[in-house]
């Protein structure tokens, strides 16, 4: 029956997909060591960024406030949706519109947290570049200069 399904849906054979016909490719010890080194470097960079964020005053309270606003907005959304289901059709439109506004507020609160972090990262990058240009390269947490995409990857990995 599997072969009939494969033919019907024009799928490759199951053995081919699972890789049973081919030998498994086992990475060499050197490749494994290189991957371990890359992961360790990425983790150390992530740790440096996290410690730099901890030193910034006010960022933690901003995150807490935005989380609170987001939670309250989601709670209000749920209450308004329940209310909208229990009122007349004429009044339900306005209630649902306000419920969608609550979701918008929750999204904006989440975006505000991310923007604050990105602004701090941007300032750290600018400071590192300035220190590098002026020769005042004191040993700081952000001695390395990364581009924006690398920093976003590191931040996303540390959030998981």
Q: How far apart are CA 158 and CA 54, in angstroms?
A: 14
What gap in Å lies between CA 145 and CA 132, rounded to an integer? 9
Mean pLDDT, the chain, integer: 79
Instruction: Identify whether 149 is part of a domain.
Output: yes
pLDDT given for residue 32 in this prediction: 83
Residue at 2 is within a domain: no
- Residue 88 inside a domain? The answer is yes
Specify the pLDDT at position 19: 63
Which residue in the block uniquely carries the two structure tokens 């935005």? 66
Structural domain contains residue 151: yes
The answer to the question of residue 43 being in a domain is: yes
Structure tokens at 70: 């987001």
Domains: count for the chain: 1
Q: What pLDDT sits at residue 21?
A: 47
Parent domain of 76: 24-159
pTM of the model: 0.46
**pLDDT greater than 50 at residue 98:** yes
How far, in Å, CA of 62 to CA of 19, rounded? 50
Question: Is 19 domain-assigned?
Answer: no
d(CA 69, CA 62) in angstroms, rounded, equals 11
Q: Give domain status of residue 6, yes or no.
A: no
Does 18 map to a domain? no
What does the pLDDT look like over 66-94, one tens digit per residue? 889 989 999 999 999 999 999 988 888 89
Query: What would the mean pLDDT of 13-18 be, rounded to a whole number?
Result: 74
């Amino acid at each position: 029956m599997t072969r009939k399904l494969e033919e019907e849906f024009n799928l490759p054979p199951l053995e081919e997909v699972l890789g049973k016909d081919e030998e498994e490719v086992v990475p060499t010890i050197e490749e494994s060591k290189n991957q371990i080194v890359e992961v360790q470097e990425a983790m150390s960079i992530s740790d440096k960024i996290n410690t730099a964020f901890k030193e910034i005053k006010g960022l933690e309270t901003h995150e807490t406030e935005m989380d609170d606003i987001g939670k309250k907005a989601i709670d209000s959304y749920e209450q308004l949706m329940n209310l909208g289901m229990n009122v007349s059709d004429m009044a339900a439109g306005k209630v649902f519109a306000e419920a969608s506004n609550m979701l918008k507020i929750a999204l904006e609160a989440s975006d505000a947290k991310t923007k604050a972090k990105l602004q701090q990262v941007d300032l750290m990058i600018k400071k590192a570049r300035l220190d590098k240009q002026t020769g005042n390269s004191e040993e700081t947490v952000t001695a390395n200069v990364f581009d924006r995409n690398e920093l976003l990857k590191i931040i996303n990995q540390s959030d998981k």
